[in-house]
Amino acid sequence: MASVKGDLIDRLVDEGARLLVAEGLGGLSLRKVAAAAGVSTMPVYTLFGDKRGLLAAMHREAFRRLGAALAAAGPADDPLQHLGLLGFAYRQSALDGPHLYALMFGQVFAELPADEDGRAAADAAYLPLVDGVRAAQTAGILAEGDPEPVALHLWAVAHGMVSLEINGHLPALGDPADMYAIALNNAIQPFLRM
């Protein structure tokens, strides 16, 4: 069961992400976040200190949620199936929190780099994919080699498809989930062991 403080932080993070997407960095303030969450400004300042603290917390929480979604995908007996489960967990996490997804990969953190904890959270969310590729290589399903470039390629395809879908730019060629599955399947093909 989540704590009251944890629930409040989640609510503030979600409202902050919505405001950031809707109004941009200049339109984000702790007062607006407090109002949107229906709380006084006191807990917002106590929890985050300032706008930069709120942004850092939003960034960490976004990647924490992504990491939790990937971990919940769980291992599969077949390493290739496991990579597919990770891909669909990535998509579902993005669809469940499009505002946080925009925050993780948007322009804000190019301008305001993540703190050490934020970078660690981002790295931790990426590692399951690298480990999944490594497991598929070890099982002889994928060609041997450094798993990092393969993981990056798979992530780029997943990220591109999800970004197109969230932003309404995915061509109307069929069901988005089916199109995503096809894209993931096509992305892994060059790395399959012949």
The residue that leads in pLDDT, 161 or 21, is 161
**pLDDT cut 90: percent of the chain above it:** 60
Q: pTM to 2 decimals? A: 0.87
Q: Do the domain assignments include residue 19?
A: no
Number of domains in the chain: 1
Q: Do the domain assignments include residue 149?
A: yes
- pLDDT band (50, 70, 90) for residue 189: very high
Residue 4 pLDDT greater than 70, yes or no: no
User: How much is the pLDDT for 112?
Assistant: 65
Print the domain residue range for 104. 58-191
User: How much is the pLDDT for 111?
Assistant: 63
Average pLDDT, the chain: 90
pLDDT tens per residue, range 103-121: 888 766 666 666 788 889 8
The residue that leads in pLDDT, 192 or 25, is 192
Most confident among 11-15, 59-63, 151-155 (mean pLDDT) = 151-155
Q: Do the domain assignments include residue 3?
A: no
pLDDT tens per residue, range 30-89: 999 999 999 999 989 999 999 888 988 888 889 999 999 998 987 788 999 999 999 999
Q: Do the domain assignments include residue 14?
A: no
What are the distances in angstroms from CA 137 to CA 31, 90, 92, 95? 50, 21, 26, 30
For residue 68, is it left (φ>0), alpha (ψ between -120 and 50) or beta? alpha
Q: Do the domain assignments include residue 74?
A: yes
Q: Do the domain assignments include residue 68?
A: yes
In this structure, what CATH number is given to the domain that contains residue 154? 1.10.357.10
**Residues 6 or more apart in contact with residue 186 via CB below 8 angstroms:** 157
Q: Do the domain assignments include residue 142?
A: yes
